[in-house]
Amino acid sequence: MTALPSQKPSPQGAVWNHDEVAVLLIDYQQEMFDNIRSEIGPELVDLNIRYLIRIAKAVGIPVILSTVGVEMGVNGPTRASITAELPATKIIDRSTMNAWEDAPFRAAVLATGRRRLIFGALYTEICLAYPVVDALKEGFEAMFVADAVGGQSQVAHAVALDRMIQAGAIPNTVLALSTELFRDWKTTEAEKLRPIIVWYLGELTKRGLR
């Protein structure tokens, strides 16, 4: 059997490829899940983040996981369903709400060597918006996964989305993003990702969301 080729970046560079990106996941802690009041509920946010992690791991995308206030005793750890997907990942705990202002977090991002950053965080209006706009100012490209994040109100969430888009961030959804990262079914990445996509679509069907 002829070996399948790896997906190459698009000639125009407007869509993102799996070998160009890093995934940054910030503050997926139970306290934050409990206070999601925007349109995507906590259980779907959890599913979408787990799907994104599986996609990233399958094609070698670096994943950085961070929490806030755990060592200070203010918040609990990352939700167990999410850490189960990343058992070997060192979690970066911070005191600052803006992960971009935390030296170990920023150093971890720089160590990936990737300039295209995919963000997910709770809450949209704080721990997502702040590092996104700062990263953009520093010359990185930023994309956020709109159906894998949530805010403390509809208004807070919507205004934060507007703020990031106006700053130059790219909105996306988790299923669209996963297909964007490979785009051709006759690639090695497609072979790796197909069963994960089937799993995800099955989970949506179970929940009556498809």
Do the Cβ atoms of 54 and 85 come closer than 8 Å? yes
Coil, strand, or helix at residue 30? helix
Look at residue 181 and tell me whether its pLDDT is greater than 60.
yes
Cα separation of 125 and 157, whole Å? Answer: 6
Cα separation of 125 and 120, whole Å? Answer: 12
Distances (CA, A) of 5 to 14, 158, 184, 187: 21, 40, 10, 5
Active-site residues: which are they?
Answer: 127
Look at residue 184 and tell me whether its pLDDT is greater than 80.
yes
Which residue is it, tokens 């790796």?
Answer: 192
Cα separation of 64 and 41, whole Å? Answer: 23
Do the Cβ atoms of 10 and 170 come closer than 8 Å? no
Convert the pLDDT of each residue in 1-51 to its tens digit: 578 999 999 999 999 999 999 999 999 999 999 999 999 999 999 999 999
As given in the structure block, the two tokens for residue 157 are: 């969430």
Q: What is the pTM of this model?
A: 0.97
Coil, strand, or helix at residue 209? coil
Instruction: Kindly list the domain boundaries of the chain, sorted by start residue.
Output: 18-206
Cα separation of 121 and 127, whole Å? Answer: 6
Do the Cβ atoms of 71 and 93 come closer than 8 Å? yes
CATH class of 18-206: alpha beta
Across 14-23, 41-50, 127-136, 201-210, least confident range:
201-210
Coil, strand, or helix at residue 133? helix
Cα separation of 120 and 49, whole Å? Answer: 8
